[in-house]
Amino acid sequence: MKERNYMEEKEKIVHKEISDLGAGAYLMMHGYKVAGRKGKSIVFEVGIAELRSLEQCTLDYLSSEYHRFDSCLMSLKKVGEYMPDRV
């Protein structure tokens, strides 16, 4: 009976909202399926058995070079206009 419950649980689909675009791209790179958008969030569709793996992948993103790259991009977007001194 436990095996049947596991199979039923494995087949359930859940939707996980990710509000960080960089994290969403990282999840896509790791094969997670995008279901759509909800406001500014990206909605991923995963089996309930994969949910813990998706959450771990989201945490892994925070210590990855991809996160560092995304942070640098965001910083560059905030840099002011360069105005050279005129002689």
Domain spans, the chain: 2-76
Contact 12, 47 (CB under 8 A): yes
pLDDT at 1 over 70: no
Q: What is the pTM of this model?
A: 0.77
Per DSSP, what are the bridge partners of residue 36? Answer: 43
Per DSSP, what are the bridge partners of residue 42? Answer: 18, 37
Task: Give me the mean pLDDT over the 3-14 stretch.
Answer: 66
Residue of higher predicted confidence among 9 and 59: 59
Instruction: Please tell me the predicted confidence (pLDDT) of residue 33.
Output: 97
Q: Model confidence over 15-69: pLDDT tens digits?
A: 999 999 999 999 999 999 999 999 999 999 999 999 999 999 999 999 999 999 9
Per-residue three-class SS string for 24-80 = HHHHHHCCCEEEEEECCEEEEEEEHHHHHHHHHHHHHHHCCHHHHHHHHHHHHHCCC
